[in-house]
Structure formats: C-alpha cells, structure tokens
C-alpha cells in the first residue's frame, strides 16, 4: 500500500509552509504500509522553542486553507516536539535536540521517503 495522492498533496503543502518558517531537515515518510491510521509522517526541525511553535502554526494554517483541521495537537505549549495529526498525515515538528534523541527516521527507516520538491535556498546577496 502507498500513500494516497491527497496525502502527498497535503504533505507537500505542509512542507512548503514549514520551509517558509525556516524549518530544517524536512523529511516525508510513507508510513501507509505499517500504520493503518495514517499515510505520511512529515518530520521537521526548528532551531529553538519559538521556531518550533512558529513552524507548527504555519503548517496548521496552510492545511486549514486546504480544508484540513488538526484532529489532535500535542506539545505546542512546550515547543520541543509538536505533533499535529490531520488524519491522512501526521506532522512532527521537533527542537533539533529532541529530534536527534527520538530519531524517528531510524525507527521508520524501512518506509519510503516521499520527495518534497521544495524551492532551492537562495544564496545571500553580495
């Protein structure tokens, strides 16, 4: 089984929103095979608690514009690991340290990576 086209569309929109808020190390994993409850995990890192919260807020706003509402939110107050469950996709926004500690990429290493097609970073003006 593979992630639905709708889940892929949503994860790309979520990734663009996270990227707009300076998220780092964006990775989308197709977890539809081992998990019957969702199709895709999006993993993103923020530099500090404030950045983590801003990324999560940006993702939630972007998906709301596509008609999606978070079914569940966890961790926003702490700003260390925010989990946003939209049903078809689950977004994990980590503080850099927490992402290394929990290492979800290692736990889900057998799941295919979904290309995100994000814009290339702009070089600083000279």
Residue 122 belongs to a domain: no
What's the mean pLDDT in 50-59?
Answer: 97
Residue 46 belongs to a domain: yes
89: domain CATH number is 3.30.460.10
pLDDT, one tens digit per residue, over 16-43 is 999 999 999 999 999 999 998 999 999 9
Q: State residue 119's pLDDT score.
A: 73
Decide if pLDDT at 124 tops 60.
Answer: no
Residue 58's pLDDT band (cuts 50, 70, 90):
very high
What's the mean pLDDT in 95-116?
Answer: 94
Print the SS3 string covering the chain.
CCCCHHHHHHHHHHHHHHHHCCCEEEEEEECCCCCCCCCEEEEEEECCHHHHHHHHHHHHHHHHHCCCCCCEEECCCCCCEEEEECCCEEEEEEEHHHHHHHCHHHHCCCCCEECCCCCCCCCCCC
Instruction: Find the domain containing 68 and state its range.
Output: 5-114
Q: State residue 74's pLDDT score.
A: 95
Residue 126 belongs to a domain: no
Residue 65 belongs to a domain: yes
Residue 36 belongs to a domain: yes
Which carries the bigger pLDDT value, residue 79 or residue 27? 27
What's the mean pLDDT in 95-115?
Answer: 94
Which carries the bigger pLDDT value, residue 123 or residue 103? 103
Report the domain count for the chain.
1
Residue 118's pLDDT band (cuts 50, 70, 90):
confident
């Amino acid at each position: 089984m593979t992630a639905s086209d709708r889940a892929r569309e949503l994860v790309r929109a979520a990734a663009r929103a996270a990227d707009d808020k300076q998220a780092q190390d964006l990775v989308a994993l197709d977890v539809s095979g081992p998990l019957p409850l969702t199709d895709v995990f999006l993993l993103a890192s923020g530099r500090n608690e404030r950045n983590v919260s801003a990324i999560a807020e940006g993702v939630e706003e972007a998906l709301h514009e596509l008609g999606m509402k978070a079914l569940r939110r966890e961790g926003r107050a702490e700003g260390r690991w925010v989990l946003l469950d939209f049903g078809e996709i689950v977004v994990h926004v980590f503080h850099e340290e927490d992402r290394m500690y929990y290492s979800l990429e290692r736990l889900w290493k057998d799941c295919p990576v979904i290309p995100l097609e994000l814009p290339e970073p702009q070089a600083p003006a000279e």
